[in-house]
Amino acid sequence: MRLGGKVALISGGARGMGAAEARLFAKEGARVAIGDVLEREGREAAAEIAAAGGEAMFIGMDVTSPSDWDRAVESVASRFGRLNVLVNNAAIYLRGLVEETAPEDWDRVMEVNAKGPFLGTRAAIPAMRESGGGSIVNISSFNSLVGTTTSTAYNASKAAARLLTKSTAVQYAKDGIRANAIHPGPVWTAMFTSGFPDTESIERRRAQAPLGRIGTVEDVAYGALFLASDESSYITGSDLVIDGGWTAQ
């Protein structure tokens, strides 16, 4: 099993990409902690993993709260004895051009998508060091690499997460802690579809995709699995682009 013996904490693990990562990690032998503000969905996701024979726990937490992160890392350590993998997956989307973006909405997006991964990384590093090293996977976006005509704050927040990743990688390589970013293209999630006013505009987006399809949450989960596992022991500070060719053009 590709994550045998490892303990992973996944923020935003209640649904979408985070839930897919949690399921795949558990199937590959990891004990998984799902951190999320969504209590009911989070407990269900953990129960589903347990029903399939895996080991999972739910932690109610808000990624913008430093004390929630401290509590989450403590609960993981006390229940599973260690922390090897952190996936900073929780995020929110905001549609809007620069002029349409309200300053308080910008702040909120930055709070969740940029400060959230920072707080998670900050809380996890001591626990990973104690566990003899670890792997941090930040779910960024292809919107951190190229500009779009649809969103502003989201793109900037994901670019912040991308550089947080590289600084973490460079600073903590000596402690055996790796940090990498995944940049998904359009992927079927509730967050993705919420960014479009109607199904026709989703269809237009799909038709523009070089690969001719929207990605699945499993496409992203397999990338996260690779970066979480020891298979990627020489990969740190990297960008794994899972976007069906969007940014190659």
Return the active site residues.
154
Decide: is 241 part of the binding site for another protein (CB under 8 A): yes
Residues 107-146: x/- map of binding to another protein (CB under 8 A)?
A: ----------------------------------------
Helices 16-27 and 39-51, packing angle to 10 deg: 20
**How far is 18 from 197, CA to CA, in rounded Å?**
24
Pairing of strands 134-139, 55-60: unpaired
User: At closest approach, how far in Å is the CB of 79 from another protein?
Assistant: 25
Q: Helices (H), strands (E): how many in the chain?
A: 9, 7
Q: Between residues 115 and 178, which has the closer beta carbon with respect to another protein? A: 178
Q: Between residues 105 and 239, which has the closer beta carbon with respect to another protein? A: 239
Selection from 171, 175, 181, 178 nearest residue 114 by Cα: 181
Phi, psi dihedral angles at 208 (to 5 degrees)? -80, -20
Q: Report CA dihedral (76, 190, 101, 245) to the nearest 10 degrees.
A: 90
Binding test (CB under 8 A) with another protein, winner from 120, 144, 223, 228: 223
**How far is 111 from 118, CA to CA, in rounded Å?**
10
Asked whether 2 and 225 are in contact (CB, 8 A), the reply is yes
Ranges within 170-189 binding another protein (CB under 8 A): 170, 173-174, 178, 185
Binding test (CB under 8 A) with another protein, winner from 82, 122, 166, 205: 166
Binding test (CB under 8 A) with another protein, winner from 36, 192, 219, 228: 219
Q: Between residues 24 and 127, which has the closer beta carbon with respect to another protein? A: 24
**How far is 124 from 74, CA to CA, in rounded Å?**
10
Q: Of 37-45, 75-83, 98-106, 216-224, which segment contacts another protein by CB under 8 A?
A: 216-224
Q: Of 6-14, 100-108, 149-157, 213-221, which segment contacts another protein by CB under 8 A?
A: 213-221
Decide: is 16 part of the binding site for another protein (CB under 8 A): no
Annotate 80-112 with DSSP letters as a single string.
HS---EEEE---------TTT--HHHHHHHHII
Binding test (CB under 8 A) with another protein, winner from 60, 66, 195, 237: 237
Q: Provide the 8-state DSSP code for 158.
A: H
Q: Which residues have a Cβ under 8 Å from the Cβ of 182 and sit 6 or more positions away?
A: 137, 138, 139, 140, 220, 223, 224, 227, 240, 241, 242
Q: How many residues bind another protein (CB under 8 A)?
A: 41
Decide: is 203 part of the binding site for another protein (CB under 8 A): no
Q: Of 37-45, 114-122, 148-156, 209-217, which segment contacts another protein by CB under 8 A?
A: 209-217
Query: Where along the sequence are the contacts to another protein (CB under 8 A)?
Result: 1-2, 27-28, 166, 169-170, 173-174, 178, 185, 210-213, 215-216, 219-220, 222-223, 225-226, 231-245, 247-249
